[in-house]
Every structure is written in C-alpha cells, then in structure tokens.
Structure 1
Amino acid sequence: MALSQSAVSELLDAFRTGEGVDLIRESVRMVMQELIEAEATEQVGAGRYERSESRVNERNGSRARLLATQAGDVELRIPKLRKGRSSRSSSSLGAGSTRPCMRW
C-alpha cells in the first residue's frame, strides 16, 4: 500500500495555500481509504481495472460511509463486491463508529 505522490503533493499544496484543508482529517481519510482499497484488492484477488487469473470476485461500485474520528468526520468510499461482503473491517463502518479504527 502506497499513497500516490500526487495525492500527497496536492494535500500539502492546499494546506500551504490555506484553502481550508484540515491536514489531520484529510490525512486520516487518505490512509483509511488506502487501507480499505488494499483490503478489497486482497479479497478480489486483483487490483482495480486489473485482469488476473487469481481473481475470485468482482467490484460493483462503492457506497459512501461517514466515520466519526477524533480528527472529525471522514467520508469514505466502501467498495461493493459482487459476491459476499464488501470487506471484513470496512463492513462494520457506520455513522459514528470508531471501532474499525482500532482494528487496523
């Protein structure tokens, strides 16, 4: 799991120019989203838009979930999978939930 350099650069540039970016909350959102995406990739057996012989499932869009953290509310995109649950840890994300943060 690696955060894209461009995403980190955009965040830091926005923070420096004072465009109203909350650096802590946005950092939490980026890290949590990367963890959720990595977990979905593991369950599917292939990355997003990637063809693979080891694929065992398919992505089917995503849904928004609000996670309340000490840094503030963070909106995350939870991938939906065609077969089974979307994700082990992220499936328990609900409004006001902070327990999934403790699991990671």
Structure 2
Amino acid sequence: MALDQSALLKLLEALKAADVDDRVRAATETLYQALIEAELTAAIGAAPHERTEARTAQRNGSRPRTLTTTAGDLELRIPKLRAGSFFPSLLERRRRIDQALFAVVMEAYLHGVSTRKVDDLVKALGADTGISKSEVSRICADLDEEVAAFRDRSLAE
C-alpha cells in the first residue's frame, strides 16, 4: 500500500513527536548516500576498491553537499571522478531542498507569504538552516515561468 504525501507528513510529525528526529535524519542520510554510491558504481562499472575490466573511470574523492529535507539537513558526499564528471540523478543540480519543501515554498508564495515567514515555515518543517531570500526568489521565478507558460498556452484544441 502506497502512502500519499499527507500521510507521509503525518507519519513524519508523529516520529518527530516521539523524539526520533535524529534517527530519521540519519536513516534518510544513509539511504540517500547508499543510492548515490550505487548509481556511481553502476555508472563506472566497479565498486569502490574493485578492479574490473568493465571499469570506465576511477573515483577521486568526494565533495560535500547539503540537502534540506523535512527530516532535517542531510550532509551528503557527492563522489568525484578523475576523468569526467558525475552527478546523481536522485538530486537536481542547483537545488538544495527536496520536492516537499519546494512545494511548500511555492504554495506560500502563491498565498503572498513574506520571505521571512517562508524561512520560519521551512525551519518549522525540520530544516536546520532554513531558506535564504535569494533561494525563495529563485524558486518563485521558476514558478512564474510555469504560470506564464500556462497562461500563454494555445486554447485552439
């Protein structure tokens, strides 16, 4: 049985009320990191410290990346390659918050909430660092583009 987003948010709130938010954040961080490592292993054809004929590149350390989620801020390590580049498909480039918080920011913007109150709202949802005014503006600019495309669509069909 799949849970919808509101059921997941209720479950997250229940877990936070039970004072297990650090365990939820740690589990979420571990899951994200494992998925990133699995994707890199598939992309280069070899696990860490494994030598195979199918290997197409070599790992070369990692760089830190913070992802803000409703479970809290996740400190992820994005692997680097000696030749070429890698960015996990699980994450989106230049986006530091997950889709649930992204939707909350857009909804707040549509209702005319100030950037300071949006920051407070994001912190209340579990993000340790909140969200900057420039990030809110960037998200809202993306939303403005989507609204403009919808408004300017052809009604001929």
TM-score by length of 1: 0.67
Shift of 1:89: 1.5
Instruction: Give the aligned partner of residue 46 of structure 1.
Output: 46
Displacement of 1:95 in angstroms is: 6.2
Distance 1:37 1:77 in 2: 9
* Consecutive unaligned residues in structure 2, runs of 5 or more: 1-19, 100-157
- The count of aligned residue pairs is 80
Could you tell me which runs of 5 or more consecutive residues in structure 1 were left unpaired when the two chains were aligned.
1-19, 100-104
CA 1:91–1:59 in 2, change beyond 3 Å: closer, same or farther? farther
2:24 — aligned with what?
24
Q: 1:92 to 1:84 in 2, by over 3 A?
A: farther
CA distance in 2, matches of 1:56, 1:91: 22
Q: Is the 8 A contact 1:65 1:94 kept in 2?
A: no
SS of residue matched to 2:84? coil
> What is the distance in 1 between the residues matched to 2:76 and 2:84?
20
Residues 5-84 of structure 1 mapped to structure 2, 5 A cutoff: 22-84=22-84
Alpha-carbon distance in structure 2 between the residues aligned to 1:54 and 1:47: 11
Q: In structure 2, give the amino acid aligned to 1:30.
A: T
Give the structure with higher Rg (CA): 2
Q: 1:80 to 1:40 in 2, by over 3 A?
A: same
Q: Percent identity?
A: 45
How far apart, CA to CA, are the structure 2 residues paired with 1:42 and 1:87? 13
1:76–1:94 Cα change, 3 Å? farther
Structure with the larger strand share = 1
Pairs within 5 Å for 1:79-98? 79-89=79-89, 92=92, 94=94, 96-98=96-98
**2:152 paired residue number:** none
Which structure has more relative contact order (CA 8 Å, sep 6+)? It is: 1
1:8-63: CA deviation from partner (whole Å, max 9, x where unpaired)? xxxxxxxxxxxx97111000000000000001101111000000000011111100
